[in-house]
Structure 1
């Protein structure tokens, strides 16, 4: 049995401060019943503005420290690539030329965003100064706070993207969630995980597309496939692979029942997928018809790769042919990941016995009773706010896994 990982201690920006209540807190915290509602509102607004002011200041300081350096670095890299393209004959290798042009466009986009970021930093500082001239101008503080949130979000994504340097990290992601067994509790748990990932994408300013959903007669979800068509989605979400376990209670006398769901993540190639030749003799293809959520009949194509035992299916397209092509696309993506994990570039060299079984890989535990807690099994990170995590706030967990992967790759 593998040793349980030690908790991964994150930087202070990720930690949740646990402060002891002091005598000052005891004196200042209560609001007397004799106070008017206006007085209460004023107190709450002052407390809210104090918290907003601290968050704005933190974001501005961080932006002023990082943005100029990052902008200079990206400008230098963009100029370097421009010079490289001048010395290269674009007609010699059209595919490589396309990659170079796409990379140059990405660099230009990052440079433009960083320049906008500098304006946002100044905007946040200016609005904050204006707001401080009026001690109860909560609206202005909110406006400055919104600008500071944009600053923090971009810097978070930029810092994480620099740690994601795997072969497929920059691509989109296809996420498949499957119920561990039959039963409405497990099927509802799949739906909760689906909503968690959809909301996570929305908080990044992106969208997740539910491509396929297999519902049960009881109204739950047996399995669902989501596609995230934005850069670095795979690098962000690869740590989610494995078992996600909802624990209703730790009290043995109450006969706790765990709800299990397996999450699989494979690359969703935003550009052309690597040409991985598959022998038709190795493929076992079957098809059937199934009824979708609106009562229409849809074709389902199932493909098994006999040498490895890897299975995929597709039912989100309208025709049998389109589903077959989609399933083949997913099969190639899964095989490429397995080849990467086993360190081989030859399909025939895959060791079937060493393919990771998702149902034997614990990823995360979500505890309801006797206390709410989310515990990541891979990194050791624990978060006390279960509802916040299920509401899509998983960036702390994502960042912890990205940092852990980066640390292991450097060893």
Structure 2
């Protein structure tokens, strides 16, 4: 954990300052009041030069007095919004100057505001304040308590964000002051504070991005080959391998739930369980059709082929009360002989299990475990997750369902293109984020794509 930088006032007070000036006698500052002090204490106190006080009070004190709706600013009027609008170049941490660090932090703060739906919070806070000021509010203690708690929760969040803005602008003021005074020590401390804050801002940004209702859950990831025959089955296998490596990079546990091999190569379909905090929050960015362009290793004419694979992600809900209630009478359980790898025993007994939820038609299959009992338990877990997602979609009055992910696994429906020939590039068609190193992506380096999608998915109108 990085050390939190000392506030601006600390550095101002530690600098050698001029002798007392009568102009400061009636300022009544919170940290020191000259009125009523004895001569000894007055003589030992070195008041701040007026320009320092103005700089500090214009940013810190006024922001604290004005509350969470006040927009903090530097002594020369710089705000987080104006920093973003200046579009300062954001360089890597090791190469950036103070403007680069400040721009990166301001960008993170704007994203956090966006995720919190800042404008809606401001409106809601005003509405709640009106209700709280009504003289008859506590005639209904239950209602009053609910309003008070909601008001306090919004105030707390807004104060936290404003405090973070305030911290950034204080560091900028410190750095400018250090340069004016040729104070190399203060300048170095200010730069380090900005760098540490930049790193911390990325963590806060990620927390904001992964604050959805089910983002903290583990999940199932399913990959299904699309149009393209053997070539697409091989591509589906590559995609599944990519997710395995991505999950391992994040320390998630990975269990193969179902795998249906292709006739020649690859897989027709496979499902894995990804265990770990925020697995679903990350993986949901991968839902959709993934397109590959390459010279096919299965084409003796070395021609270029286009292949497709579809990805579906469903959360594993921890709260039983939010789950879809499955009736035993609504299930049809089918047992059959495992068709894939799994050892002699698995391939010679009816150990594989397929469960059909008759009212919805949703199915789940597992054949990777050695025993029928284990396969049934795994298939039920997958079925539960899929039905949970259907129920969430219904409650949100959405038209989509789990099965729609695979409705048209072909041209015009892809979210990302992986081109290995005639050039090399991976591009997300939703965000236009792209990299020129497809090998690293296929080895699980997906965070750039995921974070860009999560950032872009936020409503632009939800912050100010």
Name the TM tier (shorter chain). 0.5 to 0.7
Match for residue 293 of structure 2?
247
Query: For 1:282, which of 325, 330, 334 is the aligned residue?
Result: 330
Q: TM-score, structure 2 length as denominator?
A: 0.50
Secondary structure of the corresponding residue to residue 334 of structure 1 = helix
- The one of 341, 344, 353 aligned to 1:301: 353
Deviation track 1:338-375 (CA, whole Å, cap 9, x = no partner) reads 22223359xxxx97989624343422221122222222
Give the match's secondary structure for 2:422: coil
Is residue 342–residue 369 contact of structure 2 (8 Å, CA) maintained in 1? no
Instruction: Work out whether residues 334 and 353 of structure 2, in 8 Å CA contact, stay in contact via their aligned partners in 1.
Output: yes
Query: Match for residue 126 of structure 2?
Result: none
The partner residue of 1:54 within 87, 91, 95 is 95
1:16, CA displacement in angstroms?
10
From 374, 396, 408, give the equivalent of 2:448. Answer: 396
- 1:191–1:220 contact (8 Å) kept in structure 2: yes
Quote the residue 2:314 is aligned against: 266
Contact 2:311 2:405 in 1 (8 A): no
Distance 1:208 1:293 in 2: 18
Aligned equivalent of 1:177: 223
CA positional deviation for 1:403: 1.6
Equivalences for residues 140-159 of structure 1 within 5 A: 156=202, 158-159=204-205
1:161 aligns with 2:202: no
Residue 315 in 1 paired to residue 353 in 2? no
Measure the CA separation in 2 of the matches of 1:402 and 1:261. Answer: 21
| 1:198 and 2:244 are equivalent in the alignment | yes
- Other-structure match for 1:405: 457
**Residues 307-334 of structure 1: CA deviation (Å, up to 9, x unaligned):** 3222221223333233223222222221
In the alignment, structure 2 segments of 5+ residues that lack a partner are 1-83, 113-194, 296-301
Instruction: Indicate how the Cα distance of structure 1 residues 219 and 175 shifts in structure 2: closer, same or farther if over 3 A, else same.
Output: same
Cα RMSD of the aligned pairs, angstroms, is 4.4
Name the structure 2 match of 1:186.
232
The change in CA–CA distance for 1:310 and 1:397 in structure 2 (over 3 A counts) is: same
How big is each residue's C-alpha offset from its partner over 1:126-163, in whole Å with a ceiling of 9 and x where there is no partner?
xxxxxxxxxxxxxxxxxxxxxx99x95x8645522322
Whether the 8 Å CA contact 1:227–1:268 is kept in 2: the answer is: no
Matched, 1:363 2:415: yes
Distance (whole Å) between structure 1 residues aligned to residue 230 and residue 445 of structure 2 = 25
Aligned-pair CA distance for 1:238: 0.8
Secondary structure at the aligned position of 1:325 is classed as helix
Structure 1 residue 191, shift from structure 2 partner: 2.3
- Which of 163-172 and 311-320 deviates more? 311-320
CA pair 16-335 structure 1, distance change in 2 beyond 3 A: farther
The answer to whether residue 393 in structure 2 is matched with residue 341 in structure 1 is yes
Checking the alignment, whether the CA contact within 8 Å between 1:245 and 1:366 is kept in structure 2 is: yes
Task: For 1:279 and 1:238, locate their aligned partners in 2 and report how far apart those are by CA, in whole Å.
Answer: 28
3-state SS of 1:406 partner:
coil
Q: Tell me: CA distance 1:353–1:314, structure 2 relative to 1, closer, same or farther (3 Å).
A: closer
Which whole-Å CA distance do the structure 2 matches of 1:187 and 1:406 have between them? 34
Contact 1:309/1:352 (<8 A) preserved: no
Tell which has more relative contact order, 1 or 2 (C-alpha 8 A, sep 6+): 1
Q: Mind listing any 5+ residue stretches in structure 1 that lack a counterpart?
A: 1-9, 18-50, 71-147
TM-aligned CA deviation for residue 194 of structure 1: 2.0
In the TM superposition, residue 335 of structure 1 has moved relative to its aligned partner by 1.9
Q: Is the 8 A contact 1:241 1:358 kept in 2?
A: no
Equivalent residue, structure 2, for 1:237 = 283
Q: What is the CA–CA distance in structure 2 between the aligned matches of 1:12 and 1:337, rounded to whole Å?
A: 42
Structure 2 distance, partners of 1:352, 1:238, is 15
Aligned length: 280
C-alpha separation in 2, matches of 1:293 and 1:12: 58
